[in-house]
Chain A
Amino acid sequence: MVSTDEDPQIGEPVEAISLRQLYVEQRWSLVRLAALLIHDRDQSEEVVQDAFVNAYLAWDRISDPSRALAYLRSAVLNGARSRLRHLRVVERTQAARSPDQQSPEAALVAGEEHRMMITVLRSLPRRQAECLVLRFYLDLSEAETASTLGISPGSVKTHVHRGLAALATRLGDPR
């Protein structure tokens, strides 16, 4: 992310309110997005907090408010990647733990197939998993997914196709 030349002033009413509205309306959705990738709710919330802090500092550059949500999603994905790298290092140094951090209540209600699907999804290459989550959880178009990830729509198409094929194969449903 590019640094700003001009700092925003704390308490600027219009801009702060707009970002505040985004925070109120979107933070839960963004936490869910992060949770799909890093399977740790506390870490997911911190990733989203970090994303909003960065958006606050970069707000003067997000001149188009409609771009702000895309900026936040991109920041959440970047933050999730960083946390994931850190968590993997931590996991290597700790005793074996469940691959899924669901609560006991959630684990009870989660179907076996759903758990399998999420486990396989998290084992895919990072870009494939991100493309699948953006396309089929957030229902973003190929163009919107490409813009969020900073790659071409053609690459999105390829990642989605390969990701779905890998899911089908690993779930025992070869096409």
Chain B
Amino acid sequence: MSTGERDVTTRLRDALAHQTASVPAPEDRWEDVEVRAGQLLRRRRWNRAAYLTIGLAAAVVTVVVAASALEPGSSRRVTTVAPATSPQTPVSRGPGPGPETTTASPAPSTSAPQPASAFHYQPLWPFAGEADAAGWQARYRAGGQQPWHLDPATTAISFTTGYLGYADINLVVDRTVGPADAHVAVGYAVPSTPNRTSVAAIIHLVKLGGGADAPWEVVGTDDSRGISLAAPAYGSRISSPVAVGGRITGVDESIHVRVLQQSSGSTPIGDRCCVPAGGTDTAWATSVGFAGARDAVVTLVASTGGHLLAVERFAVTAGRR
């Protein structure tokens, strides 16, 4: 530190000390802290109960409708969400975890591939649709190419670090994997705090196609990290500009919304930065324009951060052209 810098530093310290010396001791308002925290907790619990009730009611209605629709003689199938309308475009592109590999493939399933069930989600990444996934499956069976598609955790991390471009969201914090459905919590190491991680999002993946070697596909995120993306509705048709919004819990948040499509890789076709937000379960809304949409399905992602990392939490939904 130079002599001049030391001099300024000394004068700055004096000024700061002098300035703060005139700040009187604040009153003890701890009771106010407890009351406000209690109110927020009660509101949060009430919201949870309301969401749970609505979710149960929706589940009951869905089951009843599905049961009636699948009765013998019924000619229609139930579609609770918009079916995937994938452009049968090339296989996974963008940043996968490493080059294609030619290692020996695991023994292919001895049973014949199951007929693909109706895919009720929107295929976000890495495949554009069932045919796309089937193409990879055939190549995998022939030469063991890109086996990471069989691992939901690797697929989830590739989605965040590659497709979304969130290089810091590179840890799998937790995972729940079923036969056809997986939820992978991705996150980051908290800076300057050893052995602490924080979850940025819970990625929802499903098996796309039939057979034991059907690859995993990202179809969305669970809205459980204090940021949600409720509009546009999942799988709804969108056009530019699209109104986006949801709810957020946090302090001094800054929400960045982007629109992506597989054929453009990690380059967004729409970008809106940034929407100031904060509070407890507070609504946020904005609109984002996009241009050059070619794919049938586009990804909308809302992220927030800036406290520890540029991106600390995010939520994803799907729109259709």
Contacts and interface: CB of A to CB of B under 8 A. Distances in A.
B7 A173 contact: yes
A168 B4 contact: yes
Interface string B1-43: 0101101110111111111101111101110111011101100
Given A28-B25, A167-B12, A175-B2, A2 B33 contact: no
Interface residues of B, number: 56
A148 to B, nearest CB: 9
Contacts of B16: 36, 118, 133, 136-137
Contacts of B40: 53, 57
- Judged by DSSP, the binding face of A is helix
B307 A117 contact: no
A117 B29 contact: no
B12 A117 contact: yes
The 8 lowest CB-CB distance pairs between A and B, nearest first, are A3-B226, A175-B4, A117-B15, A106-B22, A78-B252, A32-B20, A147-B192, A56-B37
Interface of B: 2, 4-5, 7-9, 11-20, 22-26, 28-30, 32-34, 36-38, 40-41, 44-45, 191-193, 196, 198-199, 224-226, 249-252, 276, 278, 280, 306-309, 312-313
26 contacts: A1-B250, A1-B251, A2-B313, A3-B249, A10-B34, A23-B28, A24-B28, A24-B30, A28-B26, A32-B20, A35-B19, A53-B33, A53-B40, A54-B251, A56-B33, A64-B193, A78-B307, A109-B22, A114-B14, A117-B11, A118-B15, A118-B16, A133-B16, A161-B5, A164-B8, A175-B4
Given A53-B37, A110-B18, A136-B12, 13 more contacts: A3-B225, A7-B44, A35-B20, A49-B33, A50-B251, A53-B40, A56-B33, A67-B193, A74-B307, A82-B278, A137-B13, A147-B192, A175-B2
